[in-house]
Amino acid sequence: MSTRVAVVTGSNKGIGLAIVRALCKQFQGAVYITARDVGRGQEAAESLSSEGLKAMFHQLDINDPNSITAAAAYFKEKYGGVDVLVNNAGIAFKNADTTPFDVQAEVTLKTNYFATGDMLTHFLPLIKKGGRLVNVSSFVGSRTLNQCSPALQQRFRSEDITEEELSGLMQRFVDATKKGEHKQDGWPETAYGVSKTGLTVLSMIHARRLSKERPNDGILLNACCPGWVRTDMAGPKAPKSPDEGAVTPVYLALLPAGATAPHGKFVSDKEVQPW
Which residue, 71 or 255, is less far from ligand NAP as judged by CB? 71
20 contributes a contact to ligand NAP by CB under 6 A: no
- Candidates 12, 200, 203, 248; binder of ligand NAP (CB under 6 A) is 12
Quick one: 100 exposed, middle or buried, by C-beta within 10 A (0-12, 13-18, 19+)?
A: exposed
234 contributes a contact to ligand NAP by CB under 6 A: yes
Stretch that binds ligand NAP, among 20-28, 86-94, 98-106, 164-172 (CB under 6 A): 86-94
Stretch that binds ligand NAP, among 9-17, 69-77, 145-153, 171-179 (CB under 6 A): 9-17
36 contributes a contact to ligand NAP by CB under 6 A: yes
197 contributes a contact to ligand NAP by CB under 6 A: no
Q: Output the CA–CA distances (angstroms, integers) from residue 128 to 56, 140, 155, 213, in the order listed.
A: 20, 31, 31, 14
Minimum CB–partner distance for residue 63 and ligand NAP (Å)? 4
Element at 136 (helix H, strand E)? strand 127-136
10 contributes a contact to ligand NAP by CB under 6 A: yes
Q: Are 238 and 229 in contact (CB under 8 A)?
A: yes
Q: Are 140 and 269 in contact (CB under 8 A)?
A: no
Q: Torsion-angle region of residue 110: left (phi > 0), alpha (psi -120 to 50) or beta?
A: alpha
192 catalytic, yes or no?
yes
Helix (H, G, I), strand (E, B) or coil at 135: strand
85 contributes a contact to ligand NAP by CB under 6 A: no
Site for ligand NAP in 155-174 (CB under 6 A): none
- Candidates 24, 48, 62, 120; binder of ligand NAP (CB under 6 A) is 62
C-alpha–C-alpha distance, residues 161 and 154, integer Å: 10
C-alpha–C-alpha distance, residues 28 and 33, integer Å: 16
233 contributes a contact to ligand NAP by CB under 6 A: yes
61 contributes a contact to ligand NAP by CB under 6 A: yes
Give the pairing type, strands 56-59 and 5-8: unpaired
Q: Build a one-symbol-per-residue string for 112-141: x at contacts with ligand NAP by CB under 6 A, - elsewhere.
A: ---x--------------------x-x---
Residues with a known catalytic role: 192
